Amino acid sequence: MQPDGSIAFAYDPAIAQGFAADDGTDPPDLWPLWQALDAKPVLLVRGALSDLLTADTALRMKQAHQGVFVQVDVPRRGHPPVLDEPEVLPAIREFLARHAAG
């Protein structure tokens, strides 16, 4: 909040401009990159209110992944979750305990 009472953004509102495809081209297909992670365990932490990583996309990611895939949806959060939510911390600890190189 600004001293005059107006809202101050805690991020750069122009952050997405670099991703805009104003030249009529399609965005790049990132699914091959996702498929390259098949052999790797994945922990997906998703804000349940996210409009950037939708529930449908998360489901598609899960269906396309052949390896270990753990998903945590954080209620009442958009994108991105802060990662200190009570649903997230135990999931991160468990995932790392099982899959971190040690």
Start-to-end CA distance of the chain, whole Å, equals 44
Residue 50 covered by a domain: yes
Residue 49 covered by a domain: yes
Residue 11 covered by a domain: no
Residue 7 covered by a domain: no
Residue 79 covered by a domain: yes
Residue 2 covered by a domain: no
For position 3, what pLDDT does the model report? 82
Q: Which runs of consecutive H residues, i.e. helices, occur in 26-87?
A: 31-35, 55-64
Q: pLDDT tens digits for the chain (102 residues)? A: 678 877 776 777 777 676 666 667 777 899 999 999 999 999 999 999 998 899 999 999 999 999 999 999 999 999 889 999 999 999 999 999 999 876
Residue 91 covered by a domain: yes
For position 79, what pLDDT does the model report? 87
Q: Which domain holds residue 66?
A: 29-99
For position 1, what pLDDT does the model report? 65
For position 54, what pLDDT does the model report? 93
For position 6, what pLDDT does the model report? 78
pTM summary value = 0.74
Residue 1 covered by a domain: no
> What are the tokens at 56?
């449908």
